[in-house]
Amino acid sequence: MKQNAVIAGVGMTRFGRHPDRTLSSLAHEAIRKALDDAGIGIDKIQAVWAGNAAASLMTGQVCIAGQAILRGMGLGGVPVVNVENACATASTALQQAASMVTLGAHDIVLAFGVEKLYSADKRKVFSVFDGCTDVEDGQALRTFAFGAGGTPGGAGESRSVFMDVYARMTRDYMAASGATAEDFAEVSAKNAFHGSLNPNAQFRETLTPRQVLDSPPIVSPLTLLMCSPIADGASAAVIMSPKAARELGVRQPVTIRSSVLASGYDYTPAIDKLATRVSRAAYEAAGVGPADVNLVELHDASSPSELVYSEALGLCEPGGGVRFLREGHTRLGGRVPINTSGGLVRNGHPIGATGLSQIHELTVQLRGRGGARQADNKPRIALAENGGGFLKEDSAAIVVTVLGL
């Protein structure tokens, strides 16, 4: 009988500005922490999935980032698979690594993600996000983000074009749900409180909804404090077969009950959006439903995304995201705390590392090691949703992972 892979150890750096650090130094820190957490040396690793999305543009490292990083840790001779999948890069590395362990190809593997995005050259940074769209069909992006005949007006120069995409999605959601800018400010303030308790978060100041609303406008209705900033950072997980975890005496292994990856394509009204379809598949594979989920980390590249994904993941009924928020279910102390880490808006978004940082947070919480931000609903089932890229009218890739004790 097939036995699902388990997470034996996790590690990450603090996300933020790290101008004096290299990709390798960031990755090494996260990997060493994950190995220490699992109680093993790097010599036990049988294969590696190495996530990075932007180094080819930001640092010039192409093709062999994983091999170059691991050579500096004394690891060679094992399979190293370099993974690039937009903002879903690290979660894709996890999904692929866990699949190979569950299928029996390996017993002990490593998945990590690392990114350096901060640069004095803003155009270089924004070019990374430009490349996460279909560059051969720029008209589709322009039509969606700016409307027929619309113009970018600074997109790609003073801001990421994805802020225009998220603003369009937000306006559509407001029209359909009755959500207001005040609701989005409440999401930002909630996650700022969560992030204030997380030592790995880039920004740890608490915020009021008024401060969020009064922050500089980006693209209506989004303000600065509703948008995720970039970051440098790394995250990692050691994944094992249950047999290896038992033999090595791993403490508190967390089961990867399912991890489902799917890609976007041309969306039609008759087809559910990608997040809904992937989450349904993940629930089915895990043998659970949305009502069983106690804790969620989701991809809030902008704060309104939390409300949109609360509905898409089935945590509340369609159109119920605003009420779900207002009733307090999504904050610490609520029924299903969302983004106890602070989410992307407070952690920042180092593209190639974000997905595994979500797994880090959920693993810490399931083990009861969250400290001041520990969810008090005794979580046993947790879900991570990590999406990336843009294809016509939807994400280009989404990974939904269900973890359990």
In contact, 112 and 67? CB cutoff 8 Å: no
Predicted pLDDT of residue 181: 97
Predicted pLDDT of residue 207: 98
Cβ contacts of 388 within 8 Å, gap of 6 or more: 85, 86, 87, 88, 89, 132, 299, 351, 395, 396, 397, 398
Phi-psi bin for 218: left (phi > 0), alpha (psi -120 to 50), beta? Answer: alpha
Residue 276 to residue 261: CA distance in whole angstroms: 12
Q: Would 149 be classed as within a structural domain?
A: no
CA 115 to chain CA centroid, nearest Å:
13
Predicted pLDDT of residue 151: 56
Q: Would 34 be classed as within a structural domain?
A: yes
Q: Would 111 be classed as within a structural domain?
A: yes
Predicted pLDDT of residue 393: 84
In tens digits, what is the pLDDT along the chain, a chain of 405 residues?
Answer: 578 999 999 999 999 999 999 999 999 999 999 999 999 999 999 999 999 999 999 999 999 999 999 999 999 999 999 999 999 999 999 999 999 999 999 999 999 999 999 999 988 998 998 889 888 887 777 777 776 555 566 666 677 888 989 999 999 999 999 999 999 999 999 999 999 999 999 999 999 999 999 999 999 999 999 999 999 999 999 999 999 999 999 999 999 999 999 999 887 777 889 999 999 999 999 999 999 999 999 999 999 999 999 999 999 999 999 999 999 999 999 999 999 999 999 999 999 999 999 999 999 999 999 999 999 999 999 999 999 999 888 999 999 999 999
Phi and psi at residue 351, to the nearest 5°:
-40, -55
Q: Would 129 be classed as within a structural domain?
A: no
| Domain hosting residue 310, numbered range | 6-119+230-404
Q: Would 127 be classed as within a structural domain?
A: no
Q: Would 143 be classed as within a structural domain?
A: no
Q: Would 319 be classed as within a structural domain?
A: yes
Catalytic residue set:
87, 349
**Is pTM beyond 0.85 here?**
yes
- Indicate which CATH number applies to the domain containing 306: 3.40.47.10
Q: Would 24 be classed as within a structural domain?
A: yes
Predicted pLDDT of residue 145: 75
CA distances to 4, 69, 381 from 257, in Å: 6, 30, 9
How many domains does the chain divide into? 1
Q: Two tokens at 81?
A: 């698979």
